Structure 1
Amino acid sequence: MSEKPEWFKSSYSDSEGNNCLEVAPCPTAIHIRDSKLSTDSPQLTVPAGPWADFLAYAIGATAH
């Protein structure tokens, strides 16, 4: 990845800065990290297609 990703905190993170999941969407993948571990936190990278499938499943599962 040549460009530095732009990270966004989860809307479920509390106002104290705890329990922060951050994501950095890119055209072909989504990068995920735990912000409590600093900016050098290990990252999980998921291809865009499987990530979209996961979100559709998760949203559908919560609708029932």
Structure 2
Amino acid sequence: MINEIVVRIIAERIITRGENPLRKRPFQLDDVTNEEYRKAVEDYIITNTADVTGVEEVVTQ
């Protein structure tokens, strides 16, 4: 079972280059070793970061 709060915290640290407290360096996706959490973090980053997906918001008037 995946804890969505943990996924959000890890993803936000990766996006903002926050520190990984265990390694004393910026958090990287490779630091997530659990396959289920890694997939969840990847999905979170993709859905919450337009730069990663290359999608631009189109505003119609």
Q: Same fold (TM over 0.5)?
A: no
More strand by share: 1
Q: Which structure's residues are more often helix, by fraction? A: 2
Q: Which has the higher contact order (CA 8 A, sep 6+)?
A: 2
TM-score by length of 1: 0.30
